[in-house]
Amino acid sequence: MTRLLVVCTANLVRSPFTAAALTRSIPHYYDIDSAGLAAVEGEQLPPEILQDMRRYVMDLSKHRSRRVTLDDVRSSALILGMTEAHRDALQTMLPAATPRTFTLIEFVRLVETVPPLSQHDGKVERLVAAAHRQRPRVEAHQVPEDVADPLGKATQRVAACIDQLAD
């Protein structure tokens, strides 16, 4: 089974929501997981965040935070960080993973410039390789391609982050 990994800092908002959204929207033969670079193992999502996620009919009440491992990075065909700092830390953790490690926004931007997954024989590894090849060809945005961390911020910031991820 092809493994996809979504990474943020605490594994309490951005990465679990994105992993759940991907799980709902793409075929079931992908193993989609989330983790955090600085996660405290076993933490639950705060109730107000669970409530915001329920607007998208997602119940993540059973989610428990966990820290990303080297094995996670080694075994994933695609790794999506929420910020450029996450991407860079993951690439430092395992330089060989650089061609398959992106920010979420960067990956979406690059994938829009290549043929769809169906034209890559349905193999996400081929789509990821095509997106990686586009990195030097497609001009990066001048602003960071980050999804800001809403943890500990006002409720409106949490809702705005979840809306951004859903888009």
Whole-angstrom distance, CA of residue 43 vs CA of residue 64: 5
Measuring CA to CA, which residue among 156, 135, 157 is closest to residue 147? 157
Q: Is the pLDDT of residue 75 over 90?
A: yes
Q: Which residue has the higher pLDDT, 148 or 89?
A: 89
Q: Are 71 and 45 in contact (CB under 8 A)?
A: no
Q: Which positions ≥6 away from 26 have C-beta within 8 Å?
A: 32
Q: How far apart are CA 78 and CA 125, in angstroms?
A: 7
Please report which confidence band the pLDDT of residue 27 belongs to, taking 50, 70 and 90 as the band edges.
Answer: low
How far is it, in rounded angstroms, from Cα 166 to Cα 58? 11
Residue 9, phi then psi, degrees to nearest 5 = -85, -60
Q: What percent of the chain has pLDDT over 90?
A: 60
Please write the tens of the pLDDT for every residue from 85-109. Answer: 999 999 999 999 999 999 999 999 9
Is the pLDDT higher at 52 or at 109?
109
Between CA 63 and CA 68 the distance in angstroms is: 15
| Single-letter amino acid, residue 79 | I
For the chain, give the longest Cα–Cα distance: 44
Please check whether residue 156 is in contact with residue 145, taking contact to mean a CB–CB distance below 8 angstroms. no
Q: Compute the mean pLDDT over every residue in the chain, rounded to the nearest whole number.
A: 89
